[in-house]
Structure 1
Amino acid sequence: MLEFLSQPWPWYVSGIVIALVMVLLLFFGKSFGFSSNLRVICAACGAGKYASLFDFDWRAQTWNLLFLVGAIIGGFISSEFLSDGEAVRISQATIQDLRQLGIAAPKGLQPEEIFTLESVLSVRGFLILLLGGFMIGFGSRYAGGCTSGHAISGLSNLQLPSLIAVVGFFIGGLITTWLLLPLIF
């Protein structure tokens, strides 16, 4: 049984699960988005005393915190019990593109040149994380939500602002991939 679970599942399984979750959320009048968890955590810790953004009834959003905890627990279970430890299977073209940037093919789930403690504690790695974190935080606040919230929840509700945000996310991803990453690495 566990041998079946440790094999990669077909892509459409996650699509079906995401669709079922969205139907349930729509049925209960909720919307999905991961970036709102940070706002809920800050509000629960008392940040509402210092900034009006965090001054709201965070208890109404505790279900979203359960989703966050479930994602963390699910990731742990997947990596510890349902993974065979094999490297991520990526195409030869992607491996060649990574080599051109000075990144070796991943031996596990992610490239060691980017996701090791040594690279994170370097000046370059720290600045990349700091700037990337700022851009993600600012962008999700400015866009009124994160990629998952707009792309999954907003588009399923046929919201025009979500469509505009998702188009912007893709444009930003293309610019980062083709213009910024070669400059950074």
Structure 2
Amino acid sequence: MTPYWVTPLAGGVLIGLAATALLWLNGRIAGISGITAGALFPKRGETAWRYAFLLGLIAAGALALHWLPSAAPSRTGFAPVLLIAGGLLVGFGTRLGGGCTSGHGVCGLGRLSLRSLVAVGVFMVTAILTTFIVRHLAGIA
């Protein structure tokens, strides 16, 4: 039986390799919000690689769920209003922070960006506080 830590470690290594390959081969940073924004509001000559990258993310997720269904167990029972509110807050935070967790955490820290270090610190503190409030004060699991 595979130890529990192997799957997340492999995923992290693959994310790091993909981010490195995109920067090395294409000169682009693998920040998902920036790639998505560029696909939604394209500039001439900037769409093919963005669509390929986004389709690759979706395909990789689908393949992972197919081959490793226990790696991401389904959760149900979330109120649709909370899911929508959460999505909007993530979008707002991405805009406010000048990038998403993948851009700052994987790519920015890898390039020793002080801005990304501050952003990741804010992300982590916010996530810890939100989890504490939701699970321990509000009693929502």
TM-score, with length taken from structure 2: 0.79
1:179 to 2:133 alignment: yes
Correspondence for 2:75: 111
CA distance in 1, matches of 2:82, 2:118: 27
Q: Does 1:31 align with 2:29?
A: yes
Tell me the residue number matched to 2:38.
Answer: 40
* Structure 1, gaps ≥5 residues long: 45-56, 89-107, 115-124
| Other-structure match for 2:11 | 14
Structure 2, unaligned stretches of length 5 or more? none
Tell me, yes or no, if the aligned pair for 2:39 and 2:47 is still in contact at 8 Å. no
- Structure 1 segments (4+ residues) deviating >6 Å: none
C-alpha separation in 1, matches of 2:104 and 2:13: 18
Post-superposition shift, 1:16?
2.9
- Where 2:45 maps in the other structure, the secondary structure is helix
- Give the whole-Å Cα distance in 1 for the aligned partners of 2:74 and 2:44: 35
Distance change (3 Å), C-alpha of 1:171 and 1:9: closer
Write the distance in 2 (CA, Å) between the matches of 1:40 and 1:153: 17
Residue pair 1:43, 1:58 contacting (<8 A) in 2 also: no
1:15 Cα deviation after fit: 3.4
CA spacing shift, 1:64–1:42, aligned 2, 3 Å: closer
More helix by share: 2
Percent identical pairs in the alignment equals 29
Instruction: Provide the TM-score with structure 1 as the length reference.
Output: 0.63
Count of aligned pairs between the two proteins: 137
**Could you say what the CA RMSD is over the residues aligned between the two structures, in angstroms?**
2.8
* Aligned residues of 1:33 and 1:148 also touching (Cα < 8 A): yes
> Which of the pair has more CA radius of gyration?
1
Q: Is the 8 A contact 1:34 1:149 kept in 2?
A: yes
